[in-house]
């Protein structure tokens, strides 16, 4: 009886391990995503971005990217520098944004989940984001978004 239970536990652990991602040092990524949210009822905030990443150490990604963001009436280009830490299919991280229209810059704190798209290294990226402008008197904006990312 105990031997059957042990086999079930071992098989379950192997199945769980096969579902989680292991991001090894040297892995590269390419991805993009976007979010749209209502700020005041009459202005929408849009954020679209693309980035490349490199895993300097296991599960720790350093990223650079370009983005287009702001209200639908006033969009600006920006650059992004940041990183993510991966825990299986989940991750958390932060980026700094700067550029034209970002006199003081901005910080983004993000947590997300990667869902596999078939058999391969492409994933649907679902995330929550907190955008905090570093300008005086600016308020933070909470949003949800999605994108695609591939690892190679």
Q: Could you give the angle at the alpha carbon of 87 between the alpha carbons of 93 and 84, nearest 5°?
A: 20
Alpha-carbon distance 118 to 41, whole Å?
Answer: 38
Enter the pTM of the model. 0.77
pLDDT single digits (tens) 48-107? 899 999 999 999 999 999 988 777 677 888 899 999 999 989 999 999 988 875 567 889
Nearest residue to 40 (alpha-carbon basis) of 69, 71, 68: 71
8 Å CB contact between 116 and 126: no
């Amino acid at each position: 009886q105990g031997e059957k239970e042990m086999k079930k536990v071992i098989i379950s652990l192997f199945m769980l391990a096969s579902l989680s991602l292991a991001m090894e040092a040297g892995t590269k990524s390419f991805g993009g995503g976007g979010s749209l949210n209502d700020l005041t009822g009459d202005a929408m905030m849009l954020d679209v971005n693309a980035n490349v990443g490199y895993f300097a150490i296991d599960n720790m990604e350093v990223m650079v990217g370009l983005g287009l963001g702001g209200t639908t009436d006033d969009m600006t280009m920006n650059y992004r520098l940041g990183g993510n830490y991966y825990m299986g299919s989940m991750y958390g991280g932060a980026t700094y944004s700067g550029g034209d229209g970002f006199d003081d810059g901005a910080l983004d704190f993000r947590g997300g989940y990667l869902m596999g798209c078939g058999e391969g290294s492409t994933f649907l990226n679902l995330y929550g984001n907190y955008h905090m402008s570093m300008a005086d008197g600016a308020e933070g904006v909470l949003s949800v978004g999605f994108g695609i990312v591939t690892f190679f």
